Structure 1
Amino acid sequence: MVTDGKVKELRRLLASGKSLAASSRMTEMDEKTARHYRNDNRLPSQRKKPRDYRTRIDPFADVWNEVQIRLEAEPRLQAKTLFQWLQDRYPGVYPDSTRRTFERRVRLWRSTEGPDKAVIFPQVHHPARVAASDFTVMNTLNVTIAGVSFEHMLFHCVLTYSNVESVSLCFSESFEALSEGIQK
């Protein structure tokens, strides 16, 4: 089998001045195949065309609607259980050798049409490693002192492991306010 690496090596050898026969021997490739890849600028992986047709007749095409109805009614059903149900319902039609095909078909249905799965990103917090901080503008509260509007911000810092919180008053999102808020 001709790999992308072999073709790249063949082209490198040809570019360095080696003959086609010598280059093909060094890359363990037939000379006719080497000539083919010398004249074609594509790599073997780029030449392969995606297949959009079936190579075999789908053995479950006749009963897939029934299976799909059962899957929609109870999506947690295992493919093995559904296959056993098919064998009981249609004795002798579906041999055990077609079970993997059926399982692949059920897996494909679940991934494309089945119920959504919850995506969970577990968060692991370690002591003294991570803190979350944020500045919050408090001007919308319209705080007044002696009738004068008090425009200010709050710096909020939380240690994620212990959930210890600290809030400090500041007037801008500066490094000074950040370092003062973290030190408190």
Structure 2
Amino acid sequence: MITDIQVRKLLKFLSQGKSLETAAARSGMDEKTGRKYRNLNMLPSDIKVARSRSWRTRNDPVGEFWGTAESFLKINDGLEAKLLFTYFQREIPGRIGGGQLRTFQRRVKSWRATEGAGHEVFFPKRHDPGKMSRSSFRNLSELGVSLAGHNFDHLVFHFVLTYSNWETGSVFLAEDFPSLSAGLQKSLWDIGGSPKFHRPDKLDAMADKPAEFKALLNHYRISELTNRADSPDDKQTVEQRHRHFEMALNQALILRGSRDFDSLTEYEKFLRRLFEQLNQKRLYRLQDEQAVLHRLPREKWGGEDDAS
């Protein structure tokens, strides 16, 4: 049984910059167990209390809306408890007092400790750090986003590292090669390196620019992976990851209370904040990826002139 002392040692070694493998070994646990306590950032005694505490009593002050709150957290467990609480105050006026906030925050903390870590969707096959990334253009017109009162039909280039599930995205108006190039390069510079392989989930954006696409990948030392079909499990999980982002975005818009933004800049800032929430528990695995990613070139790929 893992003790509080062991976990304190683990967290201390990690804070000193030790690798997970080294920190776990020096704390008397295997790497898998070390990863669990690193991600939870809680002592075994705290987890035991969270699991044993019964929240569902007759006088449960947040029971009326906890079921809905849990469904939100399963999509985005990085949501701030106070933001969720404010949403329910708005949706159920006059029935939720400010004094219930602390209770709700404790309930969210308990849920994250006992259930939150298990809801991440990982690709079914084993993926090594820094090896693979995926991307897809997602048409978000149905979400009803508007800018300054005008309907905003748009797409988001959605990028995912398959080992850590770290994700990011960029707004575009068309699914074409310039958008693919800009979206991919922004994603690579966001993570500070490039993986060994990259695979767009659709090939339409590069169909008329095969030489340019190859030049773009070569610039970042990425190998093409466009000639191998996904297995049924891979295909389902890839789509699930992209759909998960769309659900999280729709959820964030619901919590915001309005789908209208003053400007594109405001909307892009809103998206960045969403990705920060979604990536909160992936930062340790992202560090594993960043340690083996290719270094970025000095400059971004310049376009068709660099393809010759």
Tell me which protein shows more helix as a share of its residues.
2
Instruction: Between the two structures, name the one with larger relative contact order (CA 8 Å, sep ≥ 6).
Output: 2
TM-score (structure 1 length as normaliser): 0.34
Query: Which of these two proteins has the greater Rg computed from alpha carbons?
Result: 1
TM-score w.r.t. the length of structure 2 is 0.21
